[in-house]
């Protein structure tokens, strides 16, 4: 299986606050988390919860030798973290998943991230661990950390090809790229990547309930990509370079049908046709604006231009 983003080989990812468990060794009166023999307890001790959790963690101490138990108890006794939260140690993968889901529903994103991560590392190979990877990605998407969401969705898709959420993860990977693309930027690499992913999604899952959402996202992508072309076309239009402007306007029509254009750009297209002696192309554009444009000024200009063609 692929290595998780941020995974440390042979150990858990640390999630403590950095203040409660700084200790290099036991002899100095400080506690070393890696000395705890049980990986599940080690992970939860590392979250720097408080000594109030002592009763919750007791059942997990069974089977640990006496020195190990002493280390765990010492850690909890010396933690004294100001969070003062109750530590909950799930006994099963399903219980851990329910706990993590609860955090996500309450929009407690930090706790959700830690809980899903705990499940992934402590119940490897389970269906719940596979699902937790998807929901970890979803956590980042909901909290608008789109770059990290991309990483986690991509990891899920590659690591769990038979996972329950392949369809949703494919769509949301594309959505994450779109959301992370800077608006108005000349660098459209993320927008292009989002388009590729969403187009693939529509081919792979043509019957998906997410198809309308994917299509709407693709329309947004097309508008963004056409935005730069419109800017150049308008510059040439204002300079009176109608043939050059027309090159860009016609290129845009290949990607974004004129039915989705704004009225002003459609008027400019018609004028470019008229000024380059292409009345047959200009006429339907002006007629359409006269019939359907909502801006009085645009309607008047289209009507005037239409009369000049006769």
Q: What is the pLDDT of residues 60-95, one digit of tens each?
A: 544 555 444 444 544 544 444 444 445 567 788 999
pLDDT band for position 110 (cuts 50, 70, 90): very high
Residue 243: burial class (beta carbons within 10 Å; 0-12, 13-18, 19+): exposed
| Spatial separation of the C-alpha atoms in residues 110 and 113, rounded to whole Å | 5
Average pLDDT in the 27-38 region? Answer: 39
Please say if the pLDDT value at position 304 is more than 50: yes
CB atoms within 10 A of CB 246: 22
pLDDT band for position 2 (cuts 50, 70, 90): low
Quick one: how far is CA 214 from the chain centroid? 14
CB atoms within 10 A of CB 66: 7
| Spatial separation of the C-alpha atoms in residues 41 and 44, rounded to whole Å | 5
| Spatial separation of the C-alpha atoms in residues 11 and 47, rounded to whole Å | 14
Please say if the pLDDT value at position 202 is more than 90: yes
Please say if the pLDDT value at position 181 is more than 90: no
Please say if the pLDDT value at position 46 is more than 90: no
Structure pTM? 0.60
Number of C-alpha atoms within 13 angstroms, CB side, residue 147?
A: 2
Overall fold of domain 90-164: 1.25.40
Delimiting residues of CATH 1.25.40.10 domain(s) in the chain:
90-164
| Spatial separation of the C-alpha atoms in residues 259 and 257, rounded to whole Å | 5
DSSP, res 88: -
């Amino acid at each position: 299986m692929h290595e998780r983003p941020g995974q440390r080989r042979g150990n858990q990812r640390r999630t403590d606050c950095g203040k409660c468990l700084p200790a290099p060794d036991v002899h100095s009166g400080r506690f070393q988390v890696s000395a705890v023999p049980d990986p599940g307890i080690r992970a939860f001790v590392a979250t720097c919860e408080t000594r109030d959790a002592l009763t919750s963690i007791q059942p997990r101490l069974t089977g640990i030798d006496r020195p190990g138990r002493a280390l765990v108890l010492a850690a909890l006794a010396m933690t004294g973290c100001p969070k003062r939260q109750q530590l909950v140690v799930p006994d099963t993968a399903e219980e851990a998943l329910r706990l993590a889901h609860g955090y996500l529903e309450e929009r407690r994103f930090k706790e959700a991230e830690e809980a899903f991560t705990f499940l992934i590392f402590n119940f490897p190979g389970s269906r719940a661990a596979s699902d937790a990877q998807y929901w970890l990605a979803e956590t980042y998407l909901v909290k608008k950390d789109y770059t990290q969401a991309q990483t986690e969705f991509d990891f899920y898709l590659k690591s769990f090809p038979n996972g329950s959420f392949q369809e949703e993860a494919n769509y949301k990977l594309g959505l994450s790229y779109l959301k992370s693309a800077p608006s108005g930027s000349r660098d459209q690499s993320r927008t292009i990547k989002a388009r590729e992913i969403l187009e693939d999604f529509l081919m792979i899952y043509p019957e998906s309930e997410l198809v309308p959402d994917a299509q709407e996202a693709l329309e947004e992508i097309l508008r963004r990509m056409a935005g730069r072309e419109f800017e150049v076309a308008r510059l040439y239009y204002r300079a009176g370079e109608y043939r050059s402007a027309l090159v860009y306007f016609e290129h845009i029509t290949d990607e974004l049908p004129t039915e989705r254009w704004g009225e002003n750009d459609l008027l400019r297209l018609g004028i470019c046709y008229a000024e380059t002696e292409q009345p047959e192309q200009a006429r339907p554009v002006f007629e359409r604006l006269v019939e359907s444009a909502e801006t009085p000024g645009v309607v008047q200009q289209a009507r005037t231009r239409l009369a000049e063609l006769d």
